[in-house]
Amino acid sequence: MMNSSTAPMAASSPPTIDIEGLGLDQGALLLVRRALAVLPEGGCLHVLGSAPEWDLHLRAWCRQQGHDVAFSTDASGRLRAELTRHGMALGRWRGAQATGHADAHAAGALAEQAQPEWGLAARGAQVEAGSPAYAFGLREKHQLWADTAADLYAQAAAAQWDPATAIAWAAPFELASEIEAAVVQLMTYLIENENAALLVPARHLGQIHPHYREVVQLLALQCADEARHVEVFTRRATLRGGEPGLSTAGGQASLKTLFDAPDFSTATFLLSVLGEGTFVNLLNFLHAHAPDPVTRQIARLAARDEARHVAFGMAHLEHRLAVEPDYQARLAVAVQQRHEELAGTAGLNEEVFDALVLLAAGNTTVAAVARGHAQVQELKAEMAAGRRARLQRLGFGRDDAQRLADMHTRNFM
Ligand SMILES: [Fe+2]
Ligand SMILES: [Fe+2]
C-alpha cells in the first residue's frame, strides 16, 4: 500500500518544460525536441508557453512529425500543450539503421553487406527512411576488407612526408652524363608505373561503400602517396634540365592489364601483392646504388610507402581467401592470363635494364659493367623470391607459388 500511493503519482506527472515567451521559430522547438527525445514511444510531455501563436505552431509541427497534441489550461490559467510521442515519428528511423559501430574493432561494427540506403551516413548513425540509395559497386565486406585497415591508415597518416622539405633538392652533386641519363630513364619508367599505382586503386576507391571507411581512408592516402611519388620522380627527372626518357609499348601494355583486372581483389593482388612488392625490391636497389643524394632519398621514402601498400594488399587477400578459399584459383588464373596476354611484348624496357646495370656498375668499364649486370640478376632473383614468399603466405603451395612468381610481368609492375 505504501508503494502504490507513490507509483501512480509519478506515472501521472509527465515531464513539463516551460518555453516561456520563446517562439517555436526562435529556438523553442529545440527544447521540445530534446525533451521528447528521452521519452519512450507513447510517452507524454507537457509544454507551457506564452509566445504569440505558439500553440498553432506547435500543433502544425506535431501534425507533421506524427505526435499527438492536445491543449488545456493549467491551475494558474496558462495554456498547456500535452504531447504524446508517437510511433510514426519513431518509424522515420526504424528499419533503416546503419548497423555497426564507428570503431571497426568493436563487436558487430561491420555489416557483411552495406545497404545502398545507408548512403554516406556515418557508420552507426540512424538513417532516416526515404534516404536515397547510392549505387556503390563494392558493398560486401569480403570484396574489399582488410582487418588491419584501421592500423595501416593510422600508420599512413603519421608517415606522410612533404616533398618540398623531406628531400634536399639543392644538395650538390656532379654526375657523368651517361649516369645522369640512366637516372632520367629510370625516373621516366618509375613515373608511368606510379601513374598506374595511383589510378588503379582510385578507380576502385570511388566504388567502395563508405560503411567500410577505414579502407576508403587508407586507399585515399595510398593515392596521395602515389601522387607524391609521381611528383618526386618527375622533379628528379628534370632536376638537371633534361627531358624525360623513353616509354615503351611493352611497359604500357603491362600496366594496362592492371586497369582491365575483373575486380578490386584481383587488381589489388596483381598491383600490390605482386607489382608493388616487386617495386619495394627495385626501390631498395635504387637506394643502395643511387649515384646522388636526391635519388637516394626519394628511393628510400617511396620504398617505405610501398611497403604499406603491399601490407594492405596482403591483408585484403588474406581476408578474402579466409572467407572464400575458392578465390585462390581465380588469382592463379589472373596471373596466367596476364602472362599469356603479355607473352608477345618485350617486358622490361631495355633502356631501363641498362640504366639499372649502369647505376650498379657506377661506370662503363668492362669490369664494372660485369659487376653491375650480376647485381641486376641478383635483384631479379630477389624479386622472384619475394613474390614466391608472399604467394606462399596466401596459401599457394611451393611449386604453384614458384610458377606464378616466375610468370609475373617482366616489366616488374
Ligand atoms: Fe608508388
Ligand atoms: Fe604504391
Q: Are 210 and 151 in contact (CB under 8 A)?
A: no
Measured between alpha carbons, how far is 394 from 244 in angstroms, rounded to an integer?
A: 38
Ligand nearest to the CA of 312: 2
Q: How far is the CA of 305 from the centre of ligand 1 (A)?
A: 7
* pLDDT at residue 2 tops 60: no
* pLDDT at residue 169 tops 90: yes
* pLDDT at residue 134 tops 60: yes
Measured between alpha carbons, how far is 351 from 335 in angstroms, rounded to an integer?
A: 26
Which pLDDT belongs to residue 87? 63
Please, which residues have CB less than 5 A from ligand 1, an ion?
A: 194, 197, 226, 229
Q: How far is the CA of 139 from the centre of ligand 2 (A)?
A: 24
Which pLDDT belongs to residue 95? 47
Contacts of 361 (CB under 8 A, 6+ apart): 368, 369, 371, 372, 373
Task: For residue 13, give the C-alpha cell.
Answer: 506527472
Which pLDDT belongs to residue 3? 40
Which pLDDT belongs to residue 91? 60
What structural domains does the chain harbor? 2-90 (3.30.110.40), 95-135 (no CATH), 141-407 (1.10.620.20)
Q: Are 98 and 212 in contact (CB under 8 A)?
A: no
Task: For residue 371, give the C-alpha cell.
Answer: 659487376
Share of the chain above pLDDT 90, in %: 85
* pLDDT at residue 94 tops 70: no
Q: How far is the CA of 304 from the centre of ligand 1 (A)?
A: 9
In angstroms, the Cα distances linking 226 to 141, 183, 208, 244, 291 are: 25, 19, 19, 19, 23
Mean pLDDT, residues 253-282 taken together: 97
Q: How far is the CA of 235 from the centre of ligand 2 (A)?
A: 18
Q: How far is the CA of 19 from the centre of ligand 1 (A)?
A: 60
Measured between alpha carbons, how far is 126 from 18 in angstroms, rounded to an integer?
A: 29
* pLDDT at residue 96 tops 90: no
Task: For residue 196, give the C-alpha cell.
Answer: 598506374
**What amino acid occupies position 33?**
R
Q: How far is the CA of 296 from the centre of ligand 1 (A)?
A: 15
Q: How far is the CA of 198 from the centre of ligand 2 (A)?
A: 7
pLDDT band at residue 92 using 50, 70 and 90 as cut-offs: low
Contacts of 99 (CB under 8 A, 6+ apart): 108, 111, 124
271 φ, ψ (degrees, to nearest 5): -75, -55
pLDDT digits (tens, 9 = 90+) for 305-363: 999 999 999 999 999 999 999 999 999 999 999 999 999 988 888 999 999 999 999 99
Mean pLDDT, the chain, integer: 92
Mean pLDDT, residues 70-75 taken together: 91
Strands 44-49 and 68-73, by their bridges, are unpaired
Q: How far is the CA of 307 from the centre of ligand 2 (A)?
A: 8
Which pLDDT belongs to residue 278? 97
* pLDDT at residue 150 tops 90: yes
Mean pLDDT, residues 140-148 taken together: 98
Residue 310 burial (CB < 10 Å; 0-12/13-18/19+)? buried
Structure-derived torsion over alpha carbons of residues 197, 235, 183, 189, reported in degrees to the nearest 10: 30
Measured between alpha carbons, how far is 25 from 173 in angstroms, rounded to an integer?
A: 71
Q: How far is the CA of 299 from the centre of ligand 2 (A)?
A: 12
Q: How far is the CA of 255 from the centre of ligand 2 (A)?
A: 13
Q: How far is the CA of 194 from the centre of ligand 2 (A)?
A: 7
Mean pLDDT, residues 210-238 taken together: 98
Nearest alpha carbon to residue 413 among 157, 198, 137, 182: 198
**For the residues of 4-57, what is the DSSP string, one character each?**
HHHHHHHHTS--EEEEET--GGGTHHHHHHHHHHTSPTT-EEEEEE-STTHHHH
| pTM score, whole prediction | 0.85
* pLDDT at residue 70 tops 80: yes
SS3 (DSSP) at 265: helix
Q: How far is the CA of 151 from the centre of ligand 2 (A)?
A: 17
39-43's contacts with Cβ under 8 Å and 24+ in sequence apart are 39/15, 39/85, 40/85, 41/85, 41/86, 41/87, 41/90, 42/84, 42/85, 42/86, 42/87, 43/14, 43/84, 43/85
